[in-house]
Structure 1
């Protein structure tokens, strides 16, 4: 396995239980072998190193192998244009997914897409995976992760330490729900994406 260095991320991330991180790229992240080198191996090394870890008290999390597989498949149901060159690797506390886009790279690293199911939005950050974690999530985390709102959420809720869970709308925006904390609850991330995506497709 190629070893990659993320010193600023390493200094900030809250590691997952080591027992939850498996060895073996193909077994742990079965989506990866279909993608080209060196970007494939670099993403694999990143996931193996940081799988399940969280930043900013749970506002951001790197997914584990099982969740990566499930959320990539779910994401592609609602963003089919990215099929064949996308692997989801992270989530934020509001349920946005972050994915490696293998259709483009920066110095051998895949770039990062941010995908939101509530607004059906896919944003190209134009950042390599390294720059996203070493610069954006360290220097600009307050804006990217909406940390002020997250601190308000934490006043009456525990931190989101489970990478497979996030905060979503109790009544979806597509059904007239308010965009406010009073209309939000913690939920399983994959279930939330599927239900919200299906509601959006039916309207």
Structure 2
């Protein structure tokens, strides 16, 4: 598996398995950093995105963690509002996680169900987003999903994640003025 720079230059903008997983285009790296740090400001200046899945979940290397001597991978989930450390670096993420644990890494069975029920395959700049994010009480089911613009989805959900952080359950969230 190539280094992060080789991955981005060789496969940037490429989609796999009808939009299940995509590699970030090198020109889009600044936009991805902005998207993620809107909802996860603690990661500002320390992550580089390299891929994302059909649900808009983004995979990035984090310079504050290491796996086998390389920066570790973090998955940013807009639907749950969580950042989850994956026990992998870029190489082991692609060679082990995506090969041996595809469903855990990419929710591939849920994607098959989505597509099997007539759901569209997202293009490079789209994702299948939650109408009501899970962290706001939405249900993790196909009826709560829709094809949406990736940038718009992350912009809105990023604001909601930032507003909801550390609030007690049931607290109203107002994003006016953002």
Q: TM-score scaled by structure 1? A: 0.72
Asked if the contact 1:170–1:183 (Cα under 8 Å) also holds between the matched residues in 2, the reply is yes
Change (3 A) 1:186 1:67: farther
Aligned residue-pair number = 163
Instruction: Look up the SS of the partner of 1:158 in the other structure.
Output: coil
- In the other structure, the counterpart of 1:63 is 24
Query: How does 1:84-103 map onto structure 2 within 5 Å?
Result: 84-103=45-64
Asked if the contact 2:24–2:50 (Cα under 8 Å) also holds between the matched residues in 1, the reply is yes
Asked if the contact 1:137–1:144 (Cα under 8 Å) also holds between the matched residues in 2, the reply is yes
- In the other structure, the counterpart of 1:30 is none
Change (3 A) 1:177 1:142: closer
Query: How does 1:85-124 map onto structure 2 within 5 Å?
Result: 85-107=46-68, 109-124=70-85
Q: Distance in 1 between matches of 2:67 and 2:137?
A: 40
Of residues 70, 95, 110, the one that matches 1:149 is 110
Q: Distance in 2 between matches of 1:172 and 1:126?
A: 25
- In the other structure, the counterpart of 2:94 is 133
Q: TM-score scaled by structure 2? A: 0.81
Larger helix fraction of residues: 1
1:121-178 superposed Cα distances (whole Å, 9 cap, x missing partner): 1111121110000111012102221211111111203323x23211111234455433
Instruction: Look up the SS of the partner of 1:58 in the other structure.
Output: coil
Q: What is the CA RMSD across the aligned residues, in angstroms?
A: 2.0
